[in-house]
Structure 1
């Protein structure tokens, strides 16, 4: 079980580094076991068909086969990356794009993606 959790954690880190926006974690059920909950990577149990938001700005849901999670923070695209920088606010799960020399000034963003 620990090996499975470790491999899932490594896999989810790899997926995050690859800029994937959604991922799926299989339940640890044994054949014939019809569990009515899912356990996340932190070991927290969630009821079947439930949804929740994580501290990493993901929305997750528990299904019979496992947990599905997707990023909910829109990522700024098409902005002047030399003049401007994106800043992530973990509390609001949102980005702002501001000038590097004057962070009080926002920059134009041509589009947002998930």
Structure 2
């Protein structure tokens, strides 16, 4: 059991399926990006051509609630929303 949860979503590319060979497709936002670039998508994940990762981790006994307008998460205890949890920066690979 881990002390914290983090998440990356990996997307396998299919050779020959992309009509724009110099670009990569952001599958969540349905947007095109130049190859070998990084961007932040609409749910504040840090993305490359192959993956999107959340830029934070938090303890397992906590839950995050996303505010899309502020592009911010509020992380609190699962059993007590009035108790905030620590948030740590994460690096996806």
TM bucket, shorter chain: 0.5 to 0.7
Which of 1 and 2 has greater Rg?
Answer: 1
Aligned to 2:7: 21
Residues 56 and 87 of structure 2 are in contact (CA less than 8 Å); yes or no, is this contact kept in structure 1? no
Match of residue 94, structure 1, among 73, 77, 82: 73
Say which structure is richer in helix.
Answer: 1
For structure 1, the residue ranges without an aligned partner over 5 or more in a row are 1-18, 79-84
Q: How many residues align?
A: 81
- Relative contact order, higher structure (CA 8 A, sep 6+): 2
Q: TM-score under structure 1 normalisation?
A: 0.48
Structure 1 or 2: more strand by fraction: 2
Q: Normalized against structure 2, the TM-score is what?
A: 0.55
In structure 1, the residue corresponding to 2:51 is in which secondary structure? strand
Unmatched tracts of structure 2, length 5 or more: none
